[in-house]
């Protein structure tokens, strides 16, 4: 049984690695934005007592993780639904969970790769210095935070069509990132946006990442983790409804 899960995850990884659009969206964009803003400001500008290069390492890490999960699930599942590949999976003897677990594992793996690349940029060119335990705690929090966004991506993939999925993901993903303060520090956002931010899962994710750096945050890590858990349950419920609808259609 473990071999089935391993082979499914391996196939998913190589499939995404060969997709230039996915690699560009998940690897290049976060690195490019961090180079422009994080490294561009570097140690010259600070937010509080922290350099922008260090502060934005956390927020662009969260940005990268959200991109990896939403593009993998939101677009991947929608396209495979359109091609009938999910119907084939349901008819096969493969455990139903293997498909989704493999996608989640691979999305988290790609997220971990881009986070490691961001860390390398920050340390090598941004002058970011932290104890090894802090690097590990930030990286672990970012990768673990991918789970509720996997559920969001799955919900999108189960309702969006193969042609509309890329636009749907971007319409949801870009405002979620900007309004949560993942592109620029939260305190720099307009007051109206700051009032909206606590209602967004990306804001809670970014606050957890910043807490790992010791940056000032709004609320505790436990509160933000609880909020993300709640969002994850909501997204998983929506995804289940969409998956049940498709299953009933095929069975009918």
List, for residues 96-108, the tens digit of each pLDDT value. Answer: 788 889 999 999 9
Closest to 67 measured CA to CA, from 160, 168, 157, 146: 146
**DSSP annotation of 164:** T
In 3-state terms the chain splits into helix, strand, coil percentages (rounded to 5) of 80, 0, 15
Average pLDDT, the chain: 88
The whole-number average pLDDT for the span 2-20 is: 86
List, for residues 204-246, the tens digit of each pLDDT value. Answer: 999 999 999 988 888 899 999 999 999 999 999 999 998 887 6
Please tell me the total number of residues recorded for the chain in this structure: 252
Closest to 67 measured CA to CA, from 36, 24, 12: 24
List, for residues 21-44, the tens digit of each pLDDT value. Answer: 787 778 888 899 898 888 877 666
pTM of the full structure: 0.90
List, for residues 47-79, the tens digit of each pLDDT value. Answer: 667 888 899 999 999 999 999 899 888 888 888
Q: Which tokens is 161 given? A: 């069509």
**Domain residue ranges in the chain:** 2-251
CA distance 80 to 243: 13
Closest to 59 measured CA to CA, from 162, 213, 169: 213
The whole-number average pLDDT for the span 121-143 is: 93
| pLDDT number for residue 58 | 94
CA distance 122 to 163: 37
């Amino acid at each position: 049984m473990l071999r089935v899960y391993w082979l499914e995850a391996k196939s998913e990884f190589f499939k995404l690695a060969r997709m230039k659009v996915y690699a560009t969206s998940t690897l290049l964009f976060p690195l490019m934005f961090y180079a422009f803003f994080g490294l561009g400001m570097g140690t010259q500008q600070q937010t509080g007592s922290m350099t922008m290069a260090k502060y934005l390492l956390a927020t662009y890490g969260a940005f990268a993780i959200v991109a990896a999960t939403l593009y993998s699930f939101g677009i991947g599942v929608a396209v495979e639904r359109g091609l009938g590949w999910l119907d084939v999976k349901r008819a096969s003897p493969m455990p139903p969970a293997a498909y989704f677990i493999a996608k989640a594992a691979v999305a988290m793996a790609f997220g971990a790769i881009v986070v490691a690349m961001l860390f390398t940029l920050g340390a090598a060119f941004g002058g970011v210095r932290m104890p090894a335990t802090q690097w590990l705690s930030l990286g672990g929090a970012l990768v673990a935070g991918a789970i509720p966004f996997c559920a969001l991506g799955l919900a999108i993939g189960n309702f969006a069509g193969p042609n509309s999925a890329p636009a749907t993901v971007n319409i949801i993903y870009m405002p979620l990132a900007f309004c949560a303060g993942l592109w620029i520090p939260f305190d720099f956002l307009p007051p109206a946006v700051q009032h909206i931010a606590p209602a967004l899962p990306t804001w809670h994710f970014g606050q957890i990442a910043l807490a790992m750096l010791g940056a000032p945050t709004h609320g505790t890590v436990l509160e933000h983790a609880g909020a993300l858990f709640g969002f994850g349950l909501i997204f998983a419920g929506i995804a289940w409804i969409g998956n049940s609808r498709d299953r009933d259609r095929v069975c009918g």
